[in-house]
């Protein structure tokens, strides 16, 4: 982590029954992510890496530039919020990952870990 850079990530997952089709092994989840910049400098979120572990044991790695088509710059004390989706083959799973960010003052890249969070459909133990 770059000195003086403090970034926190909060994730709120939600099962989407209206988009899911359990009879087709299709379980759709949305997740709303809030990236808080608690550092002294602006940061830019450049890339994402997610590891999605499904209840079946299947593991999927998702990598890409930015999030939801953006590479947002987040000023000190500000946050960026977005919502995305994950489609699983069963009613439970776990996501975790990291963002690659750049401190705009020094142009130094750094990684921001995203703690594991559970995706659970209806009638699943939380």
What Å distances lie between residue 99 and 3, 47, 69, 86, CA to CA? 17, 6, 14, 17
**Interval 99-121 mean pLDDT:** 96
| Confidence (pTM) | 0.91
Residue 123, pLDDT score = 74
Q: Rounded distance, CA 11 to CA 16, Å?
A: 16
List alpha helices for 23-111, DSSP H: none
Do the Cβ atoms of 15 and 27 come closer than 8 Å? yes
Does 106 have pLDDT greater than 90? yes
Chain mean pLDDT for the chain? 93
Assign 121 a pLDDT band (cuts: 50, 70, 90): confident
**Interval 39-43 mean pLDDT:** 95
What Å distances lie between residue 26 and 17, 41, 73, 85, 95, CA to CA? 10, 42, 34, 12, 17
> Which stretches does DSSP call E strand in the chain?
7-15, 27-37, 43-54, 59-65, 73-74, 79-88, 92-103, 108-120
pLDDT in tens, 48-82: 999 999 989 999 999 999 999 999 999 999 999 99
């Amino acid at each position: 982590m770059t000195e003086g850079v403090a970034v926190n990530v909060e994730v709120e997952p939600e099962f989407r029954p209206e988009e899911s089709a359990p009879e087709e092994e299709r379980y759709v989840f949305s997740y709303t992510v809030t990236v808080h910049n608690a550092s002294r400098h602006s940061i830019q979120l450049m890339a994402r890496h997610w590891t999605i572990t499904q209840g079946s044991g299947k593991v999927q790695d998702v990598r890409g530039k930015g999030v939801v088509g953006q590479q947002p710059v987040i000023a000190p004390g500000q946050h960026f919020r977005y919502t995305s989706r994950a489609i699983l083959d069963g009613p439970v799973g776990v996501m975790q990952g990291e963002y690659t960010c750049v401190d705009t003052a020094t142009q130094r890249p750094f990684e921001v870990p995203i703690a594991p969070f559970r995706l659970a459909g209806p009638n699943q133990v939380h």
